[in-house]
Amino acid sequence: MSNMEIPFALPYLDDEEVEAVGEVIRSNWVSQGARVKDFENALSEYVGARFGIATNSCTSALHLSLLLSGIMPGDEVICPSFTCMATANAIHHVGASPVFVEIDPRTFNLDPAYVKEAITARTRGIMAVHQIGLSAEMGELVRIADEHDLVIVEDAATALGGEYKGKRIGSLGSPTCFSFHPRKVITSGEGGMITTDDEAFAEKARIVRAHGASISDLERHFAKGTIYASYPVVGYNYRMTDMQGVMGVIQMKKLPFILQRKREICQTYDRLLSDVDEVETPYVPEEVVHSYQSYLIRFQSEYGIDRDGMIRQMAERGISCRHGIAPLHWEPYYRDLFGEMHLPVTEEVSRNTMFLPIYPAMNEDEIDYVISNLKDLIALSK
């Protein structure tokens, strides 16, 4: 049990991905092609959506979704401050303004009551972030959006495999964006995907992600005779490569195990921490299935635990932890843009939360080592 080294996170990869990527390289078709299409089909079928549109990142997916949902310069899009920088950046990239609102103190997702209060004449959308793999309160957010004629884009970067009221995230009705960064539920190194049931939206997304070309490289390659693409719109180079696509196909096969194992680890964390008054474990509403991309604990503020000090001391014992999500309204760019803001729930949650290590290959001895050291350090802090 002594001198263990526990990484914060590890992707679940093996020789199957190595061989599959090698096969793509040997085929000499390494850009967006058939393997990307296979990945799109596998993921959209899994979540229960009609279409999947792969991109080179979730940020690109968010940008495309906002753009194709009609968000324009001068518009406002409501989003949490307790989220990844990419959430607000995507809004900014279409020329709109992110409007930061409070989170629910238990779920760390958008609080619908504050969303409703933030609506103005310029509001055109809501960015519903399913934070750390836990679904936002979509029923209430959809009701608010319908009442005020707003669009919803779902930031599900961390939430593949999560569910809301019996439906998988990605099939709830809005354009939904997933990430395949190495820390996410599955990985293709980098990459993203939009899921949607809207055929016209999907077709536009495929065109805009590829410079605005009317036909894909694959269609042009296999066409009989010479055909030329036209460019009816200004697009972007947001394409995923076939090397990433084939990784995604393999990872989708592993997804059931990844989800099961991470939920088992989190259940063990919950059980081992149930007698620690100083720690609040993740809250999961009955109607929600958590994907547990990460495991975020919250130190109860009344005990005065130094969160940053705890991270340093855990690191000294070979355990890699991370601080909770930093509020975007504290980041220099948005602070300079919007001035000083105060979101007390967001700020308290950010100051007192810490991510524990979690990855599918984590074993019971490693889990016990993490929790025994955490408990020991909490006891020493008294």
pLDDT in tens, 60-98: 999 999 999 999 999 999 999 999 999 999 999 999 999
Indicate the pLDDT class of residue 2, thresholds 50, 70 and 90: low
Judged by phi (left if over 0) then psi (alpha if -120 to 50, else beta), residue 124 lies in alpha
Euclidean distance between CA atoms 17 and 2, whole angstroms: 33
pLDDT in tens, 112-143: 999 999 999 999 999 999 999 999 999 999 99
Contacts of 170 (CB under 8 A, 6+ apart): 43, 44, 47, 48, 49, 154, 156, 160, 176, 178, 195
Q: Which amino acid is at 38?
A: D
Could you tell me the CA-to-CA distances from 311 to 30, 306, 346 in Å, in that order? 41, 9, 20
> Hey, where are the domains in the chain?
15-253, 255-380
Cross-strand pairs, 6 = 319
pLDDT of residue 149: 98
Helix (H) or strand (E) holding 315: helix 307-316
pLDDT in tens, 266-323: 999 999 999 999 999 999 999 999 999 999 999 999 999 999 999 999 999 999 999 9
Percent of the chain with pLDDT over 90: 93
Euclidean distance between CA atoms 111 and 346, whole angstroms: 11
* CATH class of the domain at 255-380: alpha beta
pLDDT of residue 222: 67
Q: Which range, 27-31, 211-215, 245-249, is most confident?
A: 245-249
Q: Which amino acid is at 296?
A: L
Q: What is the dihedral of CA 14, 15, 16, 21, to 10 degrees?
A: 110
Q: Is the pLDDT of residue 338 over 80?
A: yes
**What's the DSSP call for residue 204?**
H
Average pLDDT taken over every residue of the chain: 96
Q: Residue 213: what are its φ and ψ, rounded to 5°? A: -70, 140
CB 8 within 8 A of CB 370: no
For residue 211, give both structure tokens.
């410079």
Number of C-beta neighbours around residue 302 at 10 A? 8
**What's the DSSP call for residue 157?**
T
Q: Is the pLDDT of residue 49 over 70?
A: yes
Euclidean distance between CA atoms 370 and 375, whole angstroms: 9
Euclidean distance between CA atoms 142 and 150, whole angstroms: 9
pLDDT of residue 219: 74
CB 101 within 8 A of CB 115: yes
Same fold yes or no, 15-253 and 255-380: no
Out of 1.20.1250.20, 3.40.50.720, 3.40.640.10, 3.40.50.10710, which CATH number does the structure's domain 15-253 have? 3.40.640.10
Percent of the chain with pLDDT over 70: 98
Instruction: Give the global pTM.
Output: 0.96
User: How many Å from the N-terminal Cα to the C-terminal Cα in the chain?
Assistant: 24
How far, in whole angstroms, is CA 339 from its chain's centroid?
A: 27
206-239 burial code (b ≥16 CB/10 A, e <16): bbbbbebbeebebeeeeeeeeeebeeeeebbebb
pLDDT of residue 1: 46
Q: Is the pLDDT of residue 221 over 70?
A: no
pLDDT in tens, 166-220: 999 999 999 999 999 999 999 999 999 999 999 999 999 999 999 988 887 777 6
pLDDT of residue 51: 99
When pLDDT is averaged across residues 354-361 and rounded to a whole number, the result is 99
